[in-house]
């Protein structure tokens, strides 16, 4: 027997009123032939629940539906078996990313160095292959909004960069920003994470990495706005001190905040640990704290 009453709740920083909950329950009851993702899409649209880019907050909506089901408020349709086409494909290593002749010169001889935004499907596949082959962490599918770059010059491609979604929750960073939990849940998209940075092993050019980050500091707000419809105000990254010291970030005026706990985000029934990482940040706007602590921050609206 499903429960008939429930009070308003707050989910992912948004208050869901009693009337909205009743509307959700009615929608789920009426459209049992829809998949769970389709229902989540419908619910997010009805709630006018948008991500920073202006698209519907489907993931948050789906989690809300599953939460309501666990509380006995509604009954979702059965989960559908994933298509074989959704199974993660292994990245094959080919001759396309094989080692190249060494590039060893000073930075002035190499310039101009440019950032090539990766959009084309075939170029993106090549980018993933390079990262999978040469980055010590390999390639994992990023979460949130993403922006991929090739680092290029007249001598060819020099490396890869990835920006993706920020860490969900991190005490040291969150205390430094000064936002509340609700503000963090609502405004996290305005923080982006440099989750991969790779200079190919045959490229040996002093100060190249810091030069690239200097370009990132100046250009990424515009690139993100053009691709996702809003401008981030803070960048973050994690550096494993076992492998690197983060010298290029320091040279590009990133700020060191401290070390992660190594425990990861707490999730029900799941836990993992890793070695502590250095936390480095770089503001992209002088008033980034005011923006991140805003109660009415919105990106592109539909």
| b/e 89-101 (16+ beta carbons within 10 angstroms → b) | eeeeeeeebeeee
In this prediction, residue 302 carries a pLDDT of 44
Q: 0.85 exceeded by the pTM?
A: no
**Nearest-angstrom CA–CA distance, 26 and 99:** 59
- Residue 188 in contact with residue 111, Cβ under 8 Å? no
Q: Tell me the C-alpha distance between 248 and 112, whole Å.
A: 18
Residue 186: which of 14, 20, 2 has the closest Cα?
Answer: 14
Q: Residue 270's pLDDT is what?
A: 54
SS3 193: strand
Quote the tokens at residue 14: 């948004």
Per-residue pLDDT of the chain in tens (302 residues, 90 and over written 9): 445 466 788 888 888 898 988 889 888 888 788 889 888 888 888 888 888 888 888 888 889 999 999 988 889 988 877 654 445 678 999 999 999 999 999 999 999 999 999 999 999 999 999 999 999 999 998 888 999 999 999 999 999 999 999 999 999 999 999 999 999 999 999 999 999 999 999 999 999 999 999 999 999 999 999 999 999 999 999 999 998 889 999 999 999 999 998 765 555 555 556 789 999 999 999 999 999 999 888 876 54
Which value, in Å, is the radius of gyration of the alpha carbons in the chain? 22
Any idea of the CA torsion for 244, 245, 248, 253, to the nearest 10 degrees? 150
């Amino acid at each position: 027997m499903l429960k008939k009453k429930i009070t308003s709740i707050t989910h992912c920083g948004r208050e869901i009123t009693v009337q909205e909950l009743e509307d959700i329950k009615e929608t789920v009851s009426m459209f049992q032939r829809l998949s769970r993702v389709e229902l989540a899409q419908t619910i997010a649209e009805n709630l006018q629940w948008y991500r920073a880019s202006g698209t519907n907050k489907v993931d948050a909506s789906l989690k809300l539906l599953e939460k309501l089901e666990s509380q006995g408020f509604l009954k979702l349709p059965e989960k559908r078996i994933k298509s074989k086409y959704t199974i993660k494909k292994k990245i094959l290593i080919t001759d396309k990313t094989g080692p190249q002749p060494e590039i060893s010169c000073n930075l002035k001889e190499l310039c101009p160095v440019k950032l090539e935004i990766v959009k084309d499907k075939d170029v993106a596949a090549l980018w993933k292959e390079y990262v999978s082959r040469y980055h010590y962490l390999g390639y994992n599918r990023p979460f949130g909004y993403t922006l991929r770059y090739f680092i290029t010059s007249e001598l060819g491609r020099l490396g890869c960069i990835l920006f993706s979604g920020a860490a969900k929750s991190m005490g040291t960073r969150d205390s430094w920003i000064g936002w509340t939990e609700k503000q963090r849940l609502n405004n996290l998209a305005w923080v982006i994470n440099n989750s991969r940075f790779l200079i190919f092993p045959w490229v040996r050019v002093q100060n190249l990495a810091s030069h690239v980050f200097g370009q990132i500091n100046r250009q990424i707000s515009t690139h993100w706005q053009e691709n996702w419809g809003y401008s981030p105000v803070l960048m973050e990254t994690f550096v494993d001190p076992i492998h690197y010291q983060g010298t290029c970030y320091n040279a590009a005026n990133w700020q060191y905040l401290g070390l992660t706990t190594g425990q990861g985000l707490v999730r029900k029934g799941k836990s993992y640990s890793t070695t502590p990482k250095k936390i480095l940040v770089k503001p992209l706007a002088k008033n980034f704290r005011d923006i991140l602590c805003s109660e009415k921050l919105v990106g592109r609206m539909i």
